Amino acid sequence: MENEFKYEDYKKTAEWLLSHTELRPQIAVICGSGLGGLANRVTQRQAFDYTEIPNFPQSTVPGHAGRLVFGYLNDKCCVMMQGRFHMYEGYPLWKVAFPVRVFQLMHVHTLIVTNAAGGLNPEYEVGDIMLIRDHINLPGLCGQNPLRGANEDRFGVRFPPMSDAYDRILRQKAHGVWKQMDQERPLHEGTYVMVGGPNYETIAECRFLQRMGADAVGMSTVPEVIVARHCGLRVFGFSLITNKSILDYETHETANHEEVLMAGHQAAKKLEQFVCILVESMPPPLEKTF
């Protein structure tokens, strides 16, 4: 489905938010399943339910609170989404990524995307973190793209490149933060593949995705990243490995959402510390790519 909203609709939402808070965020964070606790660490906190915000979609997934939280992580002003939107909820992809353009109009310069993902790489264990170096947009290869339809030149160019979607400097800085935290497990870098969901993948599908070069699989993130890069935002992303994808026909294990939320809860303190230190040391972007 092509975008039903005009530039003015995004602007109306941004102006409503700016008129209801004196906080002016530089960094936006999208919290994945079970990862919304990070928003509880901000100071000078001000929260809005999605139902209050003009034009905002509603989150329907367990583990997603459905709030937009403004505040400070150390000395950096941030806005955090406690709950994102998904293709499998019935939303067209342009609406899934709707908040990202609102953030850009609020003069946010950096987007941090987080998600819960299944580990396809055999070296990954539950609780590991994978920095997203690249992604495979499986719905996009089939024509489902948040930029489908007429291009809005005030946001970005018709054909935005994605070869540099995930900021190299921020990934390098993240490795330094991880060493500073002195964690036992390594900090991985890999490729995230997006599937439509809501069902978890079959064994044959997991094997196919692994052979495509994917290290982790999930049902989110890519639409927001595409729209963020389209409108010139710098992007940093990571996946929390909350389950190991099933690759063996002899196993009796199955993936389930409760397992995902539990893994997120167990890793919460580590993740919150990781993001807080990274945000504190995050330099401003050198310049917009386009």
Which residues are catalytically annotated? 33, 64, 86, 88-89, 116, 219-220, 243, 257
Tell the burial category of 69 from Cβ atoms under 10 Å away from its Cβ (0-12, 13-18, 19+).
buried
Q: In this structure, what is the dihedral angle of CA atoms 176, 267, 129, 201, given to the nearest 10 degrees? A: -170
Task: Tell me how far CA of residue 220 lies from CA of 16, 38, 65, 276, 283, in angstroms.
Answer: 26, 19, 16, 23, 27
In what helix (H) or strand (E) does residue 79 lie, and over which residues does it extend? strand 76-82
Per DSSP, the chain holds a count of helices (H) and strands (E) of 8, 9
Q: Which residues does 251 contact at the CB level (< 8 Å), separation at least 6?
A: none
In degrees and rounded to multiples of 5, residue 215 shows phi and psi of -100, -25
Q: Which residues does 65 contact at the CB level (< 8 Å), separation at least 6?
A: 36, 59, 82, 83
The answer to whether the beta carbons of residues 17 and 10 sit under 8 Å apart is: no
Q: Which of 108, 34, 105, 101 is nearest to 263 (CA)?
A: 34
In what helix (H) or strand (E) does residue 189 lie, and over which residues does it extend? strand 188-194
CA–CA separation, 145 vs 138, rounded Å? 10
Q: Which of 140, 120, 116, 141 is nearest to 129 (CA)?
A: 116
